[in-house]
Structure 1
Amino acid sequence: MNTFPGEPIIGAPHGVTAVEHRSRTWNGVTVHALTIHVAPGEAWSLLTGEQTSLSIVLDEIGGRVEPRLKREQPLVSRRAAPGHINFSPGGMPLWGYTDGLRHVKEVRLDFDFTALPAVLGEDLDRLKIQTPRIHFHDDRIVHLGALLTAACEAPDEHSALYGDSLTLALLIDLLRLGTPQPEERSRGGLAPWQLRRVTDYLRAHLSDNVRLEELATMTGLSQSQFSRAFKASTGSPPHRWQMNERILQAQQHLVQGSSSLAEIALATGFTEQSHFTRVFSRMVGASPGAYRRARRG
């Protein structure tokens, strides 16, 4: 078995031949994007860690993997498709078991619950975060897990605001599972001074990796409260507003200046020209070079 620094799979694995592992941390949540390769026949691993974690199986090739509280005790549920989720409090024994699987793609999230009340702007339900949930399904959480996996696997493609926003959304969905929600009330947006302070800051720091916590602190709100209010005011979440502004600024550079595409990419917060070209082309419908030629005649 190949091991990696910080590898979250621990405890006498059998039949696991290699693990591809990428990790990033946002908002007190460490996200591990994992591809686990398995030898033919039975395979298992004891998935026990000190931190509370959420595991989402995104894909299974050649078979199926199931969680077990005891290695010899099969799971009652027999759903054959991927997309199942496990939530396990820190220290709880949980086995991953398969017979015939070749590899599995999984995203695992480890939570630092001491940091999360400040992120969410409210106290956590201690009973909920100490109660295991094994082999459940939620399409939205699976979708958010897949987006976080992509952000781990291609870190230069996504801003810190993007990862902060995804982990915040997943946390809110996870903590609301099974709780009847009141009718949605109209939520107010940011005060004019709050919106101006935040948008001015984002424009002034287009090339910086701004965090959601920074923006929330400017307004005196929690990240959860700020994200809702910002979207109510602008119609877009903060990371999307930031990307739209980067493209607007890039358009101005292309038409009015003489900077190279590589220089414009760096000035507007893209790590490299190829990333800039992909995003610009997708959002504008033309490559940066074609856009510049068309506007300059």
Structure 2
Amino acid sequence: MPQTWSNMVELYTRGRNVPRLRETRADATRAVSMLEASQPPGEFATPASDDLILSQSAGGPFRYVCDLGAGRFSGHTRTRDFVAIAPGTATWCRVSHPARLRFVGIPAHLARSCLDRPTDDPLDFGPIHMCHHSDPLIAQGLELLWLEMGRDDPAARLFVDSMMAALVVRMARLASQATLTDRFRGGLAPHRSAQVIDYMQAHLDQPVRLAELAALCDLSPWHFARAFRDTHGQPPHRYLTRLRLERAREWLTTSSCSISEIAAATGYTPQQLARHFRQAFGMAPGAFRRQHQDHPGPRADDAPTP
């Protein structure tokens, strides 16, 4: 019989063939835990845990194929995207690039109490377990929870309690919305969506025309744009801009490339990159690099952009 670990931290500290543990944080009073782990390219599997687990990408984008207990699916995840794993579910995943992952384990009894569900409810959120997701509330909540987790003061404990409830309720709402949306919308098929996003990722340094993306799906530009927006919640050009800025942000924090080189690699002039980057992140690329990069010594053109 497959082994089931009593909680997420025990799984990642004692289990085999799981992502490599980097750091753990816990709220002992509520038995809530978070951890950060790294995984090189390749396959890994995790045994079942009694916790409801949310896994968030905390590093650069990567391509994946995985099964979270509801069937195999694939995609291209970006920083702050998440997946959800129901209690008692073993998982399998293959990643194409090094991945940095952050996990929160919510005890099943706590999750059930937030939703007023019986003790034998499986906490199965249906379509939420069939793909990765991008949700501003959950993304921000997990980042703030990571900062507060482990602080031993009343304010931190109150925050952890309220955020656990908010995350669980938000999961239930997203599951309901996904079920209703799937009945009525006509978006892109999952393999077509993945194909389009892969094409965007491979051509971030080049102009990408709507007709090129539509041709990948054998659709007219008008029908493609509508289907893409139905699937991703925003038009293709805005999605592409987001990918370019996320790539720029990643390189600003992890590489020694100059801002001019990063701009060229993401399809912008330095002035265009500065304008879009300010709009998205509230500061110029050079200022962002000085605040976040681990490598000392900025390049010559990393001076503040006027």
Question: TM class, shorter-chain normalised?
Answer: 0.3 to 0.5
TM-score by length of 2: 0.44
- Between Structure 1 and Structure 2, which shows a larger proportion of helix residues? 2
Larger RCO (CA within 8 A; separation ≥ 6)? 1
